[in-house]
Amino acid sequence: MAEKTFRVVGTSVTRKDAPLKARGEALYADDIRLPLMLHARVKRADVGHARILRIDTSKAEALPGVKAVVVGEEAPIPYGIVPQMPTEYALAYKKVRYHGEPVAAVAAVDPDTAEKALDLIEVEYEPLPVYTDPKEAMAPDAVKIHEESPFPANIAYQAEQEFGDVDRAFAESHYVLEKTFRTSYVNHAFLEPHSAVAKFDTNGELTIWSGTQVPHYLHRTLSKVLEMPMQKIHVKVPKVGGGFGGKGEVSNNELIAALLARKAGRPVKLTYSRKEVFLQHRGRHPIEIRMKIGVDRDGYIQALEYDGTMDGGAYGGWGVVILFYTAAMLHLPYKVKNVRFRGRRVYTNKPTCGAMRGLGGVQPRFAMESLLDQIAIDLGMSPYEIKKKNAIDQTHETVSGVYVRHSEYKQCIDKVVENSGYLEKHRKLPFGRGVGLAGGYYISGTAYTLYMSYKPHSTATVRVDTEAGVTVYCGATDIGQGSDMVLGMMAAEKLGLPFDQIHVVSGDTTLAPFDLGSFASRVTVAAGTAVCQACDRVLEKIFSVAAVQLGCRAQQLAVADGEIYSVFEPHKKRMGFWEAVERYIDANGPLVASGEFTPPRRTGKFKGANIGHSPTYGFTAQVAEVEVDTETGEIRVVNYWEAGDCGQAINPQSVEGQVEGSIVMGMGQALFEQVRVAEDGRLLNPNLHDYKVPTAADLPQIRTHIVDSYDPDSPFGAKESGEGPIQPVIPAILNAIYDAIGVRFTEMPVTPEKVLEALERRKSERS
């Protein structure tokens, strides 16, 4: 095991970007202004599903101040984050598949002119039936939203998995409970709307500044859609105002800005309005889940069956991957020996669903934690007991072949139950007040990539220079979560230097080496490993010089507090780090080294077997305490406790921020948030007034706890903390509501109307 006495790791250093952000100095894409820059606006379809018969842009082009207009026919190459299944276009091509889809775009000298030009564009449609409900879309006679899709009706993809003898295990179960759950249509609601600035230079090279989570996927997609070599494209990520998955695939504003810039011969900025953010969407899939769990007399899980219909919206996006994540998520963090999964993702005429914080996990977690809670109560057992009994041990292999190399999940459950006083409160609080327990986990990166390449998933280069200092170059992108800080802290720890001496250059496809991007809670482990390895290789070079100087073996050398020393004679044989660096550079030239990370590759012999494997996993257990106002139906989350296993916290304050942000975001989905859609596919609340996200006023008292944990195979023992903590939030709150008023909600959001209706129904049933 690595040394656990750290100087930088485990401390709450302040982020280097924080002062810039607190002073308004940090630049986001919309803050960028270039000479002669044009402003773009997008003409959007006012139909939900239609064939495009004609687009006439001549009047718009004739408007003074308009410099370029583009339509879908000018970029007819489909793309998608899943390269095997490209379904999308920069602008609607031949067909419109959701109300508000881009059909044309204008670049003009100012936003007003661009806006005016949109009204001059004429589009003629042949309307098609609009499907907003997956059930209608799956009807055998439904018109296909994607004609080329190989599955029946509007099924985008479907799959089955079976492990063990499910039917027999159910037959032999002491108690079986089945329920249907419906999850809601929610948006990330990051504060910064999508924005991109694109510029072509005289050599035909494209530079694009965009707030994306995945600069390298954007790089490749631009090359494909604009039909130009990748080496002529430079993607630069300025500060990103939040992503949560919503900027985890190419957004059409990026492609449209580039297309317009090329056509106009001038730089183009395209920033979306809040409504357009809701149209670009990629939020969490609504899923109708039928889940059945069988347990033995003692509450040990015998079998689990899942049937899920995912409402995918108009395009593919991350859909098929998420479908398989819902399958993978059934196998943890409990020991389940017999599992049947049936799932399908269905196209509908709505903004496309995709990756949202904790993708694929949140929905099945809601069902599973709710069912286990109910089963425990039905058996006269504490939900704590049933969860603890079934929880996986420190290492575990699922029946689907997923290997967990390190888990402190049991410790999480114990700790949160202890801190919250759950056992003293559950079923003992007065009517209207209750507590709920739920657990969860998430991957720390994936074992499989959609990037269609065998190269390492993360790479980093470290340059140590007597003049420029230490610079870490890594393609991993800081989207606000603080990954630059994490990577800088790791480099500082490795090189024995103060954190503020480390510069991090990230999110730049020209300057920084390849990294898949910021998603799947992967950066700390993947990019962190690459940075650590690069630092080790830098040290190897420095040590070779220092060893000669000090007269000892290079293998005896270590570094701390700016000094290189022999571990055997630390007082006698030591020299300054920078002195050694200078000698190395004088003799050899630049001091540079790279590192890389490729996750252990695991798979299986069934459909979707690539999905669910991860180098390591983060765990969490949570208790919510709610108060239900039985007069108004209003639910207030009063207290919230969390205990999490993120391995060694690189920066504990940063981990707390991730956990608290996850809890409040999950609470929003549980109680308030839902994008509502009219029958014609129009969004009814694409704004932050009618789409309610939690405010500071809704904040419960939150107490988080990082359990003692260290994954010896991870960089500095660290695991993920950004997506695991959102997994149990919804069921913890809904289990607490059950404890408070005896109503088991299986649909979210649990609004005051639904509470009052349920209380009324209960009253009439009793009388």
- Minimal CA–CA distance to 19: which of 512, 500, 528? 500
**What is the distance between the alpha carbons of residues 59 and 62, in angstroms, rounded to a whole number?**
5
Shortest Cβ distance from residue 688 to other proteins (Å)?
4
Binding flag, residue 177, other proteins (CB under 8 A): no
When the beta carbons of 493 and 656 are compared against other proteins, the nearer one is 656
Mark 695-724 with x for binding to other proteins (rule: CB under 8 A) and - for no binding: xxx-x--x----------------------
When the beta carbons of 21 and 754 are compared against other proteins, the nearer one is 21
When the beta carbons of 698 and 713 are compared against other proteins, the nearer one is 698
When the beta carbons of 192 and 739 are compared against other proteins, the nearer one is 192
Chain mean position to CA 176: 34
When the beta carbons of 529 and 727 are compared against other proteins, the nearer one is 727
Stretch that binds other proteins, among 72-80, 186-194, 214-222, 306-314 (CB under 8 A): 186-194
The answer to whether 398 touches 318, Cβ cutoff 8 Å, is no
**The residue type at 88:** E
Among 395, 630, 632, 653, binds other proteins (CB under 8 A): 653
When the beta carbons of 25 and 119 are compared against other proteins, the nearer one is 25
When the beta carbons of 19 and 152 are compared against other proteins, the nearer one is 19
Is the torsion defined by CA of 272, 274, 279, 285 positive or negative? Answer: positive
Mark 247-286 with x for binding to other proteins (rule: CB under 8 A) and - for no binding: --------------------------xx------------
Rg for the chain (alpha carbons), in Å? 27
**What is the distance between the alpha carbons of residues 163 and 337, in angstroms, rounded to a whole number?**
7
Shortest Cβ distance from residue 298 to other proteins (Å)?
37
Shortest Cβ distance from residue 479 to other proteins (Å)?
7
When the beta carbons of 88 and 656 are compared against other proteins, the nearer one is 656
Among 297, 601, 689, 763, binds other proteins (CB under 8 A): 689
Among 44, 67, 188, 281, binds other proteins (CB under 8 A): 188
The answer to whether 420 touches 591, Cβ cutoff 8 Å, is no
In this structure, what DSSP letter does residue 480 have? S
Strands of the 557-560 sheet, one edge to the other = 557-560, 563-566, 574-576
Number of neighbouring beta carbons within 10 Å of residue 57: 20
Chain mean position to CA 638: 27
Stretch that binds other proteins, among 72-80, 438-446, 550-558, 694-702 (CB under 8 A): 694-702
Shortest Cβ distance from residue 209 to other proteins (Å)?
14
When the beta carbons of 21 and 602 are compared against other proteins, the nearer one is 21
Shortest Cβ distance from residue 319 to other proteins (Å)?
23
**What is the distance between the alpha carbons of residues 558 and 114, in angstroms, rounded to a whole number?**
61
Shortest Cβ distance from residue 38 to other proteins (Å)?
15
The answer to whether 349 touches 97, Cβ cutoff 8 Å, is yes
Among 158, 657, 713, 743, binds other proteins (CB under 8 A): 657
Among 89, 163, 244, 584, binds other proteins (CB under 8 A): 244
Shortest Cβ distance from residue 182 to other proteins (Å)?
24
Shortest Cβ distance from residue 208 to other proteins (Å)?
19
Stretch that binds other proteins, among 7-15, 67-75, 197-205, 431-439 (CB under 8 A): 7-15
Shortest Cβ distance from residue 283 to other proteins (Å)?
12
Shortest Cβ distance from residue 703 to other proteins (Å)?
10
Restricted to residues 94-123, the positions that interact with other proteins (CB under 8 A) are none
Q: CB within 8 A of 273, min separation 6: which ones?
A: 193
Stretch that binds other proteins, among 80-88, 183-191, 324-332, 499-507 (CB under 8 A): 183-191
Binding flag, residue 639, other proteins (CB under 8 A): no
Among 49, 99, 239, 682, binds other proteins (CB under 8 A): 239
**What is the distance between the alpha carbons of residues 670 and 750, in angstroms, rounded to a whole number?**
6
In this structure, what DSSP letter does residue 79 have? B
CA distances from 509 to 232, 266, 402, 629 (A): 11, 22, 33, 53
List the beta bridge partners of residue 209: 197, 236
When the beta carbons of 166 and 621 are compared against other proteins, the nearer one is 621
Shortest Cβ distance from residue 701 to other proteins (Å)?
9
CA distances from 729 to 186, 206, 711 (A): 15, 43, 25
Shortest Cβ distance from residue 445 to other proteins (Å)?
20
CA distances from 448 to 320, 459, 570 (A): 14, 16, 44
Q: CB within 8 A of 286, min separation 6: which ones?
A: 182, 183, 184, 185, 310, 311, 353
When the beta carbons of 74 and 660 are compared against other proteins, the nearer one is 660
The answer to whether 343 touches 326, Cβ cutoff 8 Å, is yes
Among 215, 241, 283, 517, binds other proteins (CB under 8 A): 241
When the beta carbons of 200 and 640 are compared against other proteins, the nearer one is 640
Among 189, 257, 295, 650, binds other proteins (CB under 8 A): 189
When the beta carbons of 130 and 189 are compared against other proteins, the nearer one is 189
Chain mean position to CA 349: 24
- Minimal CA–CA distance to 660: which of 734, 729, 732? 729
Could you tell me how many residues make up the chain? 767
List the beta bridge partners of residue 590: none
Q: Cβ-count burial of 736 within 10 angstroms (0-12 exposed, 13-18 middle, 19+ buried)? A: buried
**What is the distance between the alpha carbons of residues 140 and 293, in angstroms, rounded to a whole number?**
31
Number of neighbouring beta carbons within 10 Å of residue 439: 31
**What is the distance between the alpha carbons of residues 102 and 45, in angstroms, rounded to a whole number?**
6
**What is the distance between the alpha carbons of residues 310 and 146, in angstroms, rounded to a whole number?**
16
CA distances from 136 to 132, 153, 290 (A): 8, 10, 18
**What is the distance between the alpha carbons of residues 91 and 75, in angstroms, rounded to a whole number?**
8
Shortest Cβ distance from residue 659 to other proteins (Å)?
8
Shortest Cβ distance from residue 50 to other proteins (Å)?
29
Kindly state the helix (H) or strand (E) to which residue 218 belongs, with its residue range.
helix 215-225
Shortest Cβ distance from residue 763 to other proteins (Å)?
33
**What is the distance between the alpha carbons of residues 328 and 322, in angstroms, rounded to a whole number?**
10
When the beta carbons of 31 and 465 are compared against other proteins, the nearer one is 31
Among 129, 242, 421, 752, binds other proteins (CB under 8 A): 242
**What is the distance between the alpha carbons of residues 337 and 756, in angstroms, rounded to a whole number?**
40
Binding flag, residue 297, other proteins (CB under 8 A): no
For other proteins (CB under 8 A), the number of binding residues is 54
When the beta carbons of 256 and 664 are compared against other proteins, the nearer one is 664
- What is the longest distance spanned by two Cα atoms in the chain? 91
Mark 11-40 with x for binding to other proteins (rule: CB under 8 A) and - for no binding: -x-xx-xxxxxxxxxxxx-xx---------
The answer to whether 221 touches 710, Cβ cutoff 8 Å, is no
Number of neighbouring beta carbons within 10 Å of residue 111: 14
Shortest Cβ distance from residue 118 to other proteins (Å)?
17
Binding flag, residue 687, other proteins (CB under 8 A): yes
When the beta carbons of 30 and 711 are compared against other proteins, the nearer one is 30
Among 480, 507, 599, 731, binds other proteins (CB under 8 A): 480
Binding flag, residue 65, other proteins (CB under 8 A): no
The answer to whether 584 touches 531, Cβ cutoff 8 Å, is no
Residue ranges that bind other proteins, judged by CB under 8 A? 12, 14-15, 17-28, 30-31, 188-193, 239-242, 244, 273-274, 479-482, 653-654, 656-657, 659-665, 687-689, 693, 695-697, 699, 702
